[in-house]
């Protein structure tokens, strides 16, 4: 189900986006690599697929182009496409996963990105350091915000800066519930973000205050609904319907929140952004 949470006009401008997604045909929770995953709860794969299809349809209705990577048996978390790499200026940097359960996803995504970028090996970079793609790398204008603490090695931050020639700002995550940067911080536009301060170390909180003094600050309830695992085109912000307080703050900033239900994928600690890798030309 998709819900337009802020009907009416907005002065903000949407920019056309291009996304990569992977259908959750093999989704299930059979191991626990983050605090959200409980193998005793069970999962409904058909429901996960329906919710994912609704998310894809939402993007299409907002004018985005959505490409898909075929899922592979035995990789139940492959639906979380954001972790598969980082694409900026038509160049792709691959992922090298922290947990053994997900390591085979890295080559699968890199092979797809090599075909999509289609400009020779110099446009596709295989990583040396452990990193989980856009799970821990978020692009804000010319900056790359880079998370560490649970998954991505700080050495990958330096790799990304060398690959893309953009300033990389390292941020330390301290709450295991927010194990990736994209669970604790959402990019709203080229100069605007929303985040949950308590997910970050004191020093990282200070950095965020300096860089984004007018940022939207989410409360714990909205953060725990993975409200910050959101996708914005600069005008519309796709986020969980449960993140009502955050939606209200976005509405006050003249964004248009668009609610989606990804409750089944939340059982694995994923939301809209986790399912979505942006392909930046």
Query: Could you give the residue numbers annotated as active site?
Result: 180, 274
Taking a C-beta distance cutoff of 8 angstroms, is the pair 271, 262 a contact? yes
Give 146's strand partners: 137, 170
Q: Containing H/E element for 251? A: helix 244-252
Q: What is the C-alpha to C-alpha distance for residues 263 and 225, in angstroms, rounded to an integer? A: 9
Strands (E) across 69-220 are located at 85-88, 91-94, 124-125, 137-140, 143-148, 168-172, 185-189, 192-195, 216-217
Q: What is the C-alpha to C-alpha distance for residues 133 and 274, in angstroms, rounded to an integer? A: 10
Q: How many residues does the chain have?
A: 281
DSSP label at residue 122: G
Q: Containing H/E element for 256? A: strand 256-260
Q: What is the C-alpha to C-alpha distance for residues 270 and 18, in angstroms, rounded to an integer? A: 20
> Can you tell me whether residue 3 is helix, strand or coil?
strand
User: How far from chain centre, in Å, is Cα 54?
Assistant: 17
Residues 6 or more apart whose CB falls under 8 angstroms from that of 104 comprise 72, 74, 75
Nearest to 217 by CA among 198, 189, 191: 198
């Amino acid at each position: 189900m998709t819900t337009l949470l802020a009907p009416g006009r907005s002065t903000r401008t949407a920019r056309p986006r291009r996304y990569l997604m992977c259908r959750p045909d093999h989704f299930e929770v059979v191991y626990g690599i983050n605090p959200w995953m409980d193998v005793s709860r069970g999962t409904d794969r058909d429901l996960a697929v329906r919710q994912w299809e609704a998310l894809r349809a939402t993007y299409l209705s907002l004018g985005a182009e959505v490409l898909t990577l075929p899922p592979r048996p035995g990789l139940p978390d492959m639906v979380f496409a954001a972790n598969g790499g980082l694409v900026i200026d038509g160049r792709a940097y691959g992922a090298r996963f922290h947990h053994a359960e997900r390591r085979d996803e890295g080559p699968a995504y890199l092979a797809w990105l090599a075909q999509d970028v289609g400009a020779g090996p110099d446009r596709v970079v295989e990583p040396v350091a452990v990193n989980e793609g856009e799970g821990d790398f978020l692009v804000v204008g010319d900056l790359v915000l880079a998370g560490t603490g649970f998954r991505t090695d700080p050495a990958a931050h330096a790799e990304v800066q060398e690959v893309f020639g953009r300033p990389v700002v390292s941020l330390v995550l301290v709450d295991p519930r927010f194990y990736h940067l994209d669970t604790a911080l959402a990019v709203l536009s080229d100069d605007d973000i929303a985040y949950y301060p308590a997910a970050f170390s004191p020093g990282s909180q200070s950095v965020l205050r300096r860089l984004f003094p007018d940022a939207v600050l989410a409360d714990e309830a909205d953060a725990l609904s993975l409200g910050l695992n959101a996708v914005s085109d600069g005008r519309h912000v796709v986020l969980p319907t449960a993140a009502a307080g955050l939606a209200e703050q976005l509405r006050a900033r003249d964004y248009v929140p668009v609610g989606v239900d990804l409750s089944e994928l939340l059982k694995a600690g994923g939301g809209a952004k986790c399912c979505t890798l942006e392909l930046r030309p």
